[in-house]
Amino acid sequence: MTENSDPYGNAIAERVNGILKYEFGLIDIFEDFKNLSQQLDQSIYYYNNVRPYFSLNYNIPSQVHMKNNVKLKTYKKQNQNRKIPTLI
């Protein structure tokens, strides 16, 4: 899900996918698309409107999005422009 194959750029997407799969049971096999769709809708609603997150100071995403002065955490590597020495 990143353009330059940087795992740090993909960390947030991987975290969300892991939560949806393992906490909400979306890794299971479903009888049909309707059941999968219902479970997916419920999981996304719960993820955004019910489940508190440590990284959001135990707030839920929908609360945080309503605030004006939110300080967001960043998970990008520091010194991305630094050149890494190449071994010969």
Predicted local confidence at residue 64, as pLDDT: 85
Which residues, at least 6 apart from 47, have a Cβ–Cβ distance to it below 8 Å?
16, 19, 20, 24, 61
pLDDT at 5 over 70: no
Alpha-carbon distances, residue 22 vs 9, 13, 14, 30, 55 (angstroms): 21, 14, 12, 15, 19
26 vs 73 pLDDT, higher one: 26
Rounded CA gap, 34 and 41, in Å?
11
Element containing residue 88 per DSSP (H, E):
none
- Note down the domain range covering 81: 1-88
Say how many residues make up the chain.
Answer: 88
Mean pLDDT computed over 1-24: 75
Predicted local confidence at residue 83, as pLDDT: 60
Segment 29-83, tens digit of pLDDT? 888 999 888 988 998 899 889 988 887 888 888 888 888 776 666 656 665 565 6
Q: How many domains does the chain have?
A: 1
Rounded CA gap, 58 and 1, in Å?
27
